[in-house]
């Protein structure tokens, strides 16, 4: 009714608010009705039982309802600067608030009134199922109080079993979003030729294929370029295990009994770290540099104006990090960082000669770094095209300084 009078539509967000409030609106009525029923069992008349039963718990349910409403009020007052979030939060929070307020009114007014008008003169006998349930509950409570140590051990055992089972629940990566693949990344030295890189990654693929059945390898994707390469290993989806398989596996692991099972992703990753071929100058890692992953990678950034001092600090930091127990590997950007050239243009000279700074930037980018062009369509194949100066024309800084640029006037 409230949604209708304020002009809202019954959309998915309003329905979400109503679904949230479904389990909350009946609480107040149950508390009041139970207390009235308790008074009737004591022999109090219907009218007095309704008045006394509702008044005894009235303050308690009012405070409990206001506490729940206070949680959703900020959703109505929130401002998001025009982003639209307030619109959705109001559609969720307002139905909950009005539902709770209506349930409080029904519990304090309508239910006591209904019990005086609709209840008969005699108190209804309790259902046999409820009677048996109460008796069983009393016996269980007496057993728990008289065997406290046994109950504590049972609860601890159940919690331990829950922890063991939870470790075998399929979970997604915190970063890569796919638990069925492994990324092996390699920083290659600049002197690596294409043939050397090809042979090295062929060796990495062979290392993976040797234990493909144990790993559960589905496919391998390899790619490399100058200075970098990666091997992506796709694994078969994890096998779904029933709860009794998990318990059996835990018992076998505890007793040291080996089972012929496919390795998990974590086990495959740990095994590959040991078996990946080592080559001088090649740095191996399993996560993007500077990123975070499920392996507990931590990145530390050093900032400063003195490059040499930063290099010294990085070397000292690397040495200290290796002394920490539990640290598997430490790597720094300075180990594989490329040479950089920082260019600053003289504004007076650029303006006087009529040179566009963007033209200078793009010319240097095309000449030094290069630019990929659309592929050339030959008769029987496609040829990759790239515009870039010859290597002998971009070997040193003097060649860069001798480059010429066309001014706006064409000079």
Q: Domains in the chain, start-ordered, CATH in brackets?
A: 2-124 (1.20.1640.10), 181-290 (3.30.70.1430), 300-340 (no CATH), 347-401 (no CATH)
Residue 347 Cα to chain centre, angstroms? 48
Q: What is the predicted pLDDT for the residue at 81?
A: 58
Residue 351 Cα to chain centre, angstroms? 51
What span, in angstroms and rounded, lies between the C-alpha atoms of 234 and 184?
Answer: 11
| Secondary structure element (H or E) that encloses residue 46, with its range | helix 46-77
pLDDT in tens, the chain (411 residues): 777 788 888 888 888 888 888 888 888 899 999 898 888 888 888 888 889 989 999 999 999 999 989 988 888 887 765 556 778 888 888 888 999 999 999 999 999 988 888 766 565 677 788 888 989 999 999 999 999 999 999 999 999 988 887 776 655 544 444 467 888 888 888 778 888 889 999 999 999 998 888 888 889 999 888 888 889 999 887 666 666 666 777 777 777 776 656 777 888 888 888 888 888 888 887 764 444 444 456 778 888 878 788 888 888 888 888 888 767 667 776 655 556 677 777 888 878 878 887 878 878 777 777 777 788 877 777 788 878 888 777 777 787 777 877 777 766
What span, in angstroms and rounded, lies between the C-alpha atoms of 193 and 210?
Answer: 26
Q: What is the predicted pLDDT for the residue at 261?
A: 66
Q: Which residue stretches of 295-354 are H helix?
A: 307-322, 347-353
Q: What is the predicted pLDDT for the residue at 175?
A: 43
Give all strands (DSSP E) within 188-315, no chain letters.
Answer: 217-225, 228-235, 283-285
What span, in angstroms and rounded, lies between the C-alpha atoms of 85 and 324?
Answer: 45
**DSSP tag of 394:** S
Place of tokens 């629940």: 169
What span, in angstroms and rounded, lies between the C-alpha atoms of 254 and 339?
Answer: 53
Q: What is the predicted pLDDT for the residue at 287?
A: 61
- Other CB atoms within a 10 A radius of the CB of residue 400 amount to 16
pLDDT tens, residue by residue, 89-143: 888 888 889 999 999 999 999 999 888 887 665 656 777 888 889 899 999 999 9
Contact between 221 and 232 (Cβ < 8 Å):
yes
Structural tokens at position 196: 């050397």
Q: Which of helix, strand or coil describes residue 161? A: helix
Q: What is the predicted pLDDT for the residue at 146?
A: 93
pLDDT tens, residue by residue, 16-61: 888 888 888 888 899 999 898 888 888 888 888 889 989 999 999 9
Q: Provide the angle, in degrees to the nearest 10, between the axes of the packed helices 148-166 and 243-255.
A: 100
């Amino acid at each position: 009714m409230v949604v209708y009078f304020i002009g809202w539509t019954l959309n998915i967000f309003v329905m979400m608010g109503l679904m949230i409030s479904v389990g909350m609106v009946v609480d107040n009525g149950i508390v009041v009705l139970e207390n009235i029923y308790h008074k009737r069992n004591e022999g109090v008349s219907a009218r007095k039982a309704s008045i006394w039963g509702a008044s005894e718990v009235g303050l308690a349910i009012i405070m409990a309802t206001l506490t729940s409403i206070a949680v959703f009020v900020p959703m109505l007052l929130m401002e998001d600067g025009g982003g639209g979030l307030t619109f959705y939060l109001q559609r969720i929070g307002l139905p909950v608030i009005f539902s709770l307020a209506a349930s409080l009114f029904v519990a304090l007014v309508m239910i006591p009134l209904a019990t005086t008008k609709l209840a008969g003169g005699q108190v209804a006998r309790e259902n046999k199922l409820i009677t048996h349930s109460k008796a069983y509950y009393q016996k269980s409570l007496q057993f728990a109080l008289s065997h406290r140590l046994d109950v504590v051990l049972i609860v601890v055992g159940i919690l331990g079993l829950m922890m063991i089972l939870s470790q075998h629940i399929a979970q997604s990566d915190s970063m890569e979003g796919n638990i069925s693949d492994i990324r092996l990344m390699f920083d290659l030295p600049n002197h690596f030729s294409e043939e050397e890189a090809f042979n090295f990654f062929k060796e990495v693929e062979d290392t993976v294929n040797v234990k493909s059945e144990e790993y559960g390898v589905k496919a391998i994707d390899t790619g490399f370029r100058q200075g970098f390469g990666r091997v992506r290993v796709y694994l078969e989806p994890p096998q779904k295990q029933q709860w009794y398989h998990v318990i059996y596996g835990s018992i076998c692991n505890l007793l040291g009994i080996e089972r012929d099972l496919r390795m998990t992703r974590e086990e495959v990753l740990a095994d590959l770290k040991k078996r990946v071929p080592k080559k001088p100058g090649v740095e191996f890692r399993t996560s993007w540099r500077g990123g975070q992953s499920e392996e507990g990678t931590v990145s530390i950034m050093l900032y400063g104006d003195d490059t040499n001092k930063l290099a010294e600090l990085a070397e000292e930091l690397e040495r200290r990090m290796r002394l920490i127990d539990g640290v598997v590997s430490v790597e720094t950007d300075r180990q594989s960082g490329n040479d950089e050239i920082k260019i600053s243009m003289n504004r007076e000279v650029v303006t006087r000669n009529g040179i566009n700074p963007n033209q200078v930037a793009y010319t240097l980018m095309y000449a030094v770094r290069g630019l990929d062009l659309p592929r050339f369509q030959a008769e029987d194949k496609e040829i990759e095209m790239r515009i870039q100066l010859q290597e002998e024309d971009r070997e040193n800084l003097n060649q860069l300084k001798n480059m010429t640029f066309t001014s706006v006037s064409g000079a």
